[in-house]
Amino acid sequence: MAYDPRMVQPMRDETVRLGARELTTVADVDAALGDQHGTTLVLVNSVCGCAAGGARPALAMALKHEHKPQDVVTVFAGVDPEATARARQYFSDYAPSSPSLALFRDGEVVHFVHRHQIEGRHPLEIAKDLKAAFDKYCAPSSV
């Protein structure tokens, strides 16, 4: 199902404002995830207010943490289906869900946050878990 671009624009704007680069095409995704070095976080964004309404503020908080991924990118499920499907190929061990977050280090998924770990939780709680993952995988001493 394609969503009205006007409806999703505020959600796009919110993710860009918090520091994520939008990937809207397969080429964008391959350029960002194809030959990775360092740490990259992928947000699979969603229009679902039940969960994405918590995920985006949580990510905004987590990205203010001392340690964070070197690159933060986002694809929008239900809005950019081809880019989303391509991104999911890079973490195909994990069942598709949105919103979700995949943290890569040198091309390998080292941490994954499923929708079920987001929905119904306060953004502060989600952010706390993300910060713990950033400390573990993104701090200079962790490399």
Q: Which of 38, 82, 120, 142 binds other proteins (CB under 8 A)?
A: 120
CA distance 18 to 108: 24
Q: Site for other proteins (CB under 8 A): how many residues?
A: 22
Q: Does 94 bind other proteins (CB under 8 A)?
A: yes
For β-strands 39-45 and 71-76, DSSP reports them as parallel
Active-site hit among 16, 27, 31, 50: 50
Shortest Å, Cβ 120 to other proteins: 3
Phi and psi, residue 87, nearest 5°: -60, -40
* Terminal Cα distance for the chain, rounded: 41
Question: Nearer Cβ to other proteins, position 34 or 120?
Answer: 120
List Cα–Cα distances, 67 to 47, 82, 127, 140, in angstroms: 28, 31, 13, 8
Q: Does 26 bind other proteins (CB under 8 A)?
A: no
Q: Does 121 bind other proteins (CB under 8 A)?
A: yes
**Residues 63, 5, 53, 83: what is their CA dihedral angle, to the nearest 10 degrees?**
-60
Q: Which of 6, 93, 140, 141 binds other proteins (CB under 8 A)?
A: 93
Q: Does 3 bind other proteins (CB under 8 A)?
A: no
Instruction: Decide: helix, strand or coil at residue 43.
Output: strand
**For this structure, is 138 an active site residue?**
no
Shortest Å, Cβ 89 to other proteins: 15
Footprint of other proteins on this chain (CB under 8 A)? 48-51, 53-54, 93-97, 100, 112, 114-117, 119-123
